[in-house]
Amino acid sequence: MTGLSGNGRPKGSGGMNPKFKRLEQRTTTPDGVYRVLRAAILDGTVPAGGQLREAHIAADLGISRSPLREALTRLEEEGLIVKIPFHGAFVVEGEPSGGRRDRIDPPTCRTVRR
């Protein structure tokens, strides 16, 4: 056997391509999760305007949602993401510190200048 499921995908993959790699030394602390997410945002792994889906990130990193939510709050305080109730968290477009920032318009998911 080659380790593939009946559909030709690696077993256990669920057909998803994880954006966030599990760390060699798994971290479940909010600070560790924050560092992983911040790096992914700054290096473009998650593009500007991209949605951060809690369930997918938690599964990719092998963590619970609690430290993830704390990390997302910290990223929002830093200005790297915006959380929109009932729509999720999105990476901010433009300069995160000072200068012009854009926001995501949830009904249409288009970028709107502030």
Q: What pLDDT, on a 0 to 100 scale, did the predictor assign at position 109?
A: 47
Report the topology of domain 30-113. Arc Repressor Mutant, subunit A (1.10.10)
Interval 66-95: pLDDT, tens: 999 999 999 999 999 999 999 999 999 876
Q: What pLDDT, on a 0 to 100 scale, did the predictor assign at position 32?
A: 92
**Cα dist. 46→6, 20, 22, 49, 106 in Å?**
30, 9, 16, 8, 18
Measured CA to CA, the distance from residue 44 to residue 42 in angstroms comes to 6
Note if the pTM is more than 0.95: no
DSSP helix/strand/coil, 74: helix
Yes or no: say if 52 and 91 are a contact pair by the CB < 8 Å rule. Answer: yes
Query: In terms of pLDDT, which residue wins out, 73 or 97?
Result: 73
